[in-house]
Amino acid sequence: MVMNDEIINKYYAKQINLPNFGIDGQNKLINSKVLIIGAGALGCSAILYLSAIGIGTLGICDGDNVEIENLHRQILYDIDDIGKNKAVISVDKIKRKNPYIKSKAYSRMITCENINLIASDYDIVLDCSDNYDTKFLVHDYGYNNKKTIIQGNIYQYEGEVFVFPFQNLTNCDIPCYRCLWDHVPKTFDRNTSIKGVIGIVPGIVGLLQSFEAIKLILGFSSEESSIGYLYNSIECELNKIRWCKNDKCKLCCRERNKYICG
């Protein structure tokens, strides 16, 4: 579809009008590349809003197909999408939502073998996955390759967003996720879907992840180090958590980097 600048500027007119946003802000978004790993409940909410705001290139990585039990929370998909690959369907929806951006589907699960091939081209990675193995893989890849990772996690009525601005790694010491959790204690190694989930919680957490990405791209964020946001939907409260490098960390304590992958 060929569109002229006038139409594109109309599409984004209301956000361009915002103080501190303007054409400059829109151009920053258009020139940015964001990869979303996992097109489940967190991913769907992020995909909808990041495509609408005009991130210039969006990559969607997911090897799963849509199932009927996904539809109550994976808000991008319809009944007609059941059985189809989530990344492919997402890109299809993005093209209809905002034809002025580029999007690419990676219809496979992210692995140690393919992560560099998929992620190396992107500036920011939103980790919207639903399991610890992927979360650690994406995080460690980000650390080792100086790529900013914005991780979303949920548990029942609660959620977390961790921002790891690893793109700043050359400037300062940035603590990592393994400084907090080197591995997951057995007690917590459970699957959320068994415990249940309501769509609004990952919807909100996916939006928090998205806005953290937008703030970094636009230069709105004053945070230069890692930070965690903890969200309790029942109390409607947000807590923040900061931390220092853990000298026992097996990833970011340089002599001990045990987690090179990708």
Under the rule (CB under 5 A), what is the footprint of Zn ion? Answer: 176, 178-179, 249, 251-252
For residues 81 and 140, which CB has a smaller minimum distance to Zn ion in the complex? Answer: 140
Q: How is residue 5 written in tokens?
A: 């600048």
Binding partner at 252 among Zn ion, another protein, none, C-beta below 5 to 8 Å by kind: Zn ion
Closest alpha carbon to 93 in 126, 46, 47 = 47
- Residues of this chain that interact with another protein (CB under 8 A) are 38, 40-43, 128-132, 135, 152-156, 158-160, 180-181, 184-185, 187-188, 190-193, 197, 202, 230, 232, 234-235, 239-244, 246
Tell me the closest approach of the beta carbon of residue 153 to another protein, in angstroms: 4
- The residues with which 64 forms a beta bridge, in sequence order, are none
Tell me the closest approach of the beta carbon of residue 212 to another protein, in angstroms: 16
For residues 146 and 248, which CB has a smaller minimum distance to another protein in the complex? Answer: 248
Give the integer Cα–Cα distance in Å for 80 and 254. 50
Handedness of CA 130, 258, 123, 214 (dihedral sign): positive
Give the integer Cα–Cα distance in Å for 142 and 3. 35
Binding partner at 178 among Zn ion, another protein, none, C-beta below 5 to 8 Å by kind: Zn ion
Tell me the closest approach of the beta carbon of residue 251 to Zn ion, in angstroms: 5
Give the integer Cα–Cα distance in Å for 251 and 259. 6
Tell me the closest approach of the beta carbon of residue 131 to another protein, in angstroms: 6
Query: Any idea what DSSP says for residue 185?
Result: -
For residues 65 and 168, which CB has a smaller minimum distance to Zn ion in the complex? Answer: 168
Give the integer Cα–Cα distance in Å for 66 and 55. 25
